Amino acid sequence: MSQSIALITGATSGIGEATARLLSKNYRLIICGRRTDRLEKLQKELSTETRMLSFDVRDKDAVFEAIQSLPADWQEIDVLINNAGNAHGLDLIHEGSTDDWDAMMDINVKGLLYVSKAIIPGMVERKKGHIINLSSIAGLEVYTRGNVYCASKHAVDALTKGMRLDLNEHSIKVTSIDPGLVETEFSEVRFKGDSKKANKVYLNYTPLKAIDIAETIEFVLNRPPHVMIGDLLILPTDQASSTVVNKKS
């Protein structure tokens, strides 16, 4: 019996890359992302059969064309990890950039929908599968200047619950992973490449690492067939909420 297949979006860095490396022990992998050079490097380093698909989740046609281009023996995807996401800017609502708003809604919400639409029908037909949506504590709370990012992650939370209801009769598991502060490229993207400002986000406390979330995903996938973990909030010990962090100085 061949290994199960897992497709991971946003596999070129952070949580997606860490998850690909960890799951390569037990899955054939389809790694997806925009940065082809990083995908190629990761593919060479993984110890499993791997396919790489380079596309932007915002591009509906590119999503469907890429996934439909997979050979027949790679079409039966058992695990979908919707990890691609972003935050742009940290502005008050009346000062926000509409370009930033579009980027967050297009990637975090519409991108997740496009990839899911391309894959879920096959899971329904086979009556099996597991979908893991990477959301955030921002999908459970709202904080000052987080307005549209929080709205996008609240949408992910609602979509996850909706998927769970709609796919229940087809024996498909649906899980939401909701991390707190994780040290990845996330803040650098939010602050538009300002590394100095991004690094300050992680000073004077111990944030989560990408591997912490990857190990959690592995745990969720390894539950027995009759067990589904629905929603999982993961915080560093120093964090109590979106805005309460025990910084040491």
Cα(79)–Cα(19) distance, rounded to whole angstroms? 12
Contact yes or no for 12/42 (Cβ under 8 A)? yes
The residue from 114, 143, 149, 205 that is catalytic is: 149
Global pTM value: 0.95
Read out DSSP for 28-65?
Answer: EEEEEES-HHHHHHHHHH-SS-EEEEE--TT-HHHHHH
Q: What is the pLDDT along the chain (249 residues), one digit of tens a residue?
A: 479 999 999 999 999 999 999 999 999 999 999 999 999 999 999 999 999 999 999 999 999 999 999 999 999 999 999 999 999 999 999 999 999 999 999 999 999 999 999 999 999 999 999 999 999 999 999 999 999 999 999 999 999 999 999 999 999 999 999 999 999 877 777 777 777 877 888 999 999 999 999 999 999 999 999 999 999 999 999 999 999 999 987
**205 among known catalytic residues:** no
CATH architecture of residue range(s) 5-234: 3-Layer(aba) Sandwich (3.40)
Contact yes or no for 50/29 (Cβ under 8 A)? yes
Residue written as tokens 């992302």?
A: 33
**Domain boundaries along the sequence of the chain:** 5-234
